[in-house]
Structure 1
């Protein structure tokens, strides 16, 4: 296959979005629209991807990083002018160049690959990705000749009554011979009502030069959806969510209620895992096999092993092992490492802590900035007191420790292997291994004291 290059049009501000966030950075299923486009194009093993930036250039560059190189369109003077900004990077290259709008997040790599293949098979200088729709109003129409080749593109406002009956439309995605593209761009005029340089004019220029211009029709019109406002954004979100959920179900994941389950585009889930309604899984989350997630759980950027259950809980940026039971109503905060066969019960919060194999915090506990060993039991209402008002400090709980209910472990402190901490203790000094530590006032009973209070008088 010939070298493949790509130009992503991402310079527009997107005023119809009515947002301070630049249009192409609006997320669909947890990932910016323009990143969806670039990730799909990258699957084609493109030699170079050039993103044309303008409004919000620094934000777009900062987000995409090394996924693309960038060219700046300082003034937005039309789509042909935008592509021309890539000439310094791509102008001398041999191969074919895809031109794709950064606000078309639903386009698939398979469709673009088919477009490129068709382009090469037809020995074309330009190939238009087209779509078929029963509602073509507002789109440019593809007018073909008797041989099925593209004769011209007619914009809706310029089309005759007969031409407006055509239901094959221009999607705004193209494949060009790279050298021919940049030669033709130099001939594009801005002699139009908007005073802009339009990329479709390249098609007319190539046709006039006797070059072959082809059109490849996508099978799924929804891929071509361009997002210009919040309504279209919601439509793209719904389509992609349905696509993502369908793929997981085809891969052996059970979604009890797909329409009420929200899974990000970069999530991986093992076979025979069951996802219950109201669950949101986002970021680069990886979930193992035979798990149960939900209902009403939120998981982002976590790695979860096999056979783990997470019920009505929140987990973020953490590692969670196999055979773990979390919830209901637990909170696993970032930088936590939950080992295998752990139990994290209701209203337990773990933050930036290691929790060893087989350990348990069954209810109403806070474990922050701690290293908890294996087979530790943390009783109800116990906490690690990690913050002194200025700095966070580490609590170490070694293997086989028993922490009684309502205990406070004031960091920095270490509880040695096999030690017991009596219920209600506030531990401020290290506890030796195998010791029993009691840190509470001795109980005192005042006989007949209530009668002195005269509550009933």
Structure 2
């Protein structure tokens, strides 16, 4: 059985957020964006997860605790440099390493699982998760050769005008043969407009050595949304909230007015429960079956037994609930 490792890049300052909080700790539907990533990786039975931290690293370590390992990037010298910080923990391992940025909370387990499967099926040294956004501005472009195989990735700031017309872009999520990855990282230089060590350069290094490079195109472009400012954070919140509501409805929950209902990521709701308008369920709240919750309820970390009705309350512990039919 193949071993799978993961490196989560979470060292950046996120200056465009204009916040005292590290970017990757900003919540999306009640959970820090980086924790959405690490939870997915745990569910995929990843053997080891290494989170690369830097800016305000203590806050990220406190949030994620001992569920992951940590590598420290003291100086922000680019994504290749960040991954290289995990070499002491992963450099001698055999298997596949998945690399993902900590600011892409909309990625799904299904997409990551498919990426890993595609990587193994193609027997590739490196596999890129790509997407086809309507506007590719700001993304690294996927440059293919005449046969359609991946040749390299060129960053927006280093791209020619012709390369900027390429629609297929890099999501920043990769799979690599672990030992080939750390070998190639030794050859990455900072000869570019930003004087940084780019992880995508590993693709060109491996390709020039005649290793197979594959690409898996993401079906749903919204999964590749990286969050760099509060506007993108708001968009991600909206997209994830819609997913959460639809998942509960598919599982047998009635949501009377989705437009005024807010349910955070870790909330559990039993079947045949009705959620009335203006209800906000947060944290680790657990709702049983055949309940009526709302209208005008805000619950945080609260357990509701089966067949209970709660309305017109905003409480965390001592909320007043009454049996249905009373």
Q: What range is the shorter-chain TM-score in? A: over 0.9
Distance 1:56 1:28 in 2: 19
Find the residue that maps to 1:238 and give its secondary structure.
helix
- Partner residue in 2 for 1:2: 2
Contact 2:7 2:99 in 1 (8 A): yes
Q: Does 1:59 align with 2:59?
A: yes
Aligned-residue offset at 1:193: 2.5
Report if aligned partners of 2:125, 2:180 keep a CA contact under 8 Å in 1: yes
Q: How many residues align?
A: 326
Residues of 2 paired with 1:76 and 1:162: CA distance?
30
1:101 and 1:253, CA in 2 relative to 1: closer, same or farther beyond 3 A? Answer: same
Larger RCO of the pair (alpha carbons < 8 Å, separation 6+): 2
Q: Please tell me whether residue 187 in structure 1 is matched to residue 194 in structure 2.
A: no
Equivalent residue for 1:397? none
Which residue number in structure 1 is paired with residue 212 of structure 2? 212
TM-fit CA distance, 1:148: 3.4
Task: Give the corresponding residue for 1:19.
Answer: 19
Corresponding residue of 2:167? 167
Question: Is there any run of 5+ residues in structure 2 with no aligned partner, and where?
Answer: none
The CA distance in 1 between the partners of 2:218 and 2:238, in whole Å, is 20
In structure 1, C-alpha distance between the alignment counterparts of 2:237 and 2:25, rounded to whole Å: 14
Structure with higher helix content: 2
Once the two structures are TM-superposed, the CA of residue 90 in structure 1 deviates from its matched residue by 0.3
1:303–1:318 Cα contact (<8 Å) kept:
no
What displacement does 1:44 show? 0.9
Instruction: Check the 8 A contact 2:6/2:97 in 1, yes or no.
Output: yes
CA contact (8 A) 1:286 1:302 kept: yes
- Tell me the equivalent position of 1:388: none
Deviations 1:74-113 (A, max 9, x none): 1111100000000000001010001000011111111111
| TM-score, scaled to structure 1 | 0.69
Partner of 1:367: none
Paired position in structure 2 for 1:95 = 95
- The whole-number CA distance in structure 2 between the counterparts of 1:4 and 1:317 is 41
Q: What is the alpha-carbon distance in structure 2 between the residues aligned to residue 11 and residue 158 of structure 1? A: 23
Cα offset for 1:277?
Answer: 1.6
2:9 partner SS: strand
User: Corresponding residue for 1:138?
Assistant: 138
| Partners of 2:7 and 2:83 within 8 A in 1 | yes
Structure 1 residue 138, shift from structure 2 partner? 1.5
Secondary structure at the aligned position of 2:51 is classed as strand
Give the SS at the match of 1:199: coil
1:329-358 superposed Cα distances (whole Å, 9 cap, x missing partner) = xxxxxxxxxxx7898xxxxxxxxxxxxxxx
Q: Distance between the aligned counterparts of 1:268 and 1:297, measured in 2?
A: 16
In 1, the alpha carbon distance for the partners of 2:68 and 2:96 equals 17
- String of CA shifts for 1:382-408, please: whole Å, max 9, x gaps: xxxxxxxxxxxxxxxxxxxxxxxxxxx
* Equivalent residue number for residue 279 of structure 1: 279
Work out the CA distance in 1 between the residues paired with 2:141 and 2:41. Answer: 26
Mapped contact 2:309–2:324 kept (Cα < 8 A)? no
Residue equivalent to 2:86: 86
* Superposed CA offset, 1:95-139 (max 9, x none): 000100001111111111100110011110000000111111121
Q: 1:55 to 1:157 in 2, by over 3 A?
A: closer
Distance 1:80 1:165 in 2: 25
Instruction: Report the 3-state secondary structure (helix = DSSP H, G, I; strand = E; otherwise coil) of the residue aligned with 1:265.
Output: coil
| CA displacement 1:179-212 (0-9 Å, x = unmatched) | 0000000111012232211101111111111111
Distance 1:317 1:82, change over 3 A: farther
294 and 21 in structure 1: CA distance in 2 versus 1, 3 angstrom threshold: same
Name the larger-Rg structure: 1
Does the 8 Å contact 2:158/2:192 carry over to 1?
no
Is 1:239 equivalent to 2:239 in the alignment? yes
Paired residue secondary structure (2:248): helix
Distance in 2 separating the partners of 1:342 and 1:272: 16
Question: Is 1:111 matched up with 2:115?
Answer: no
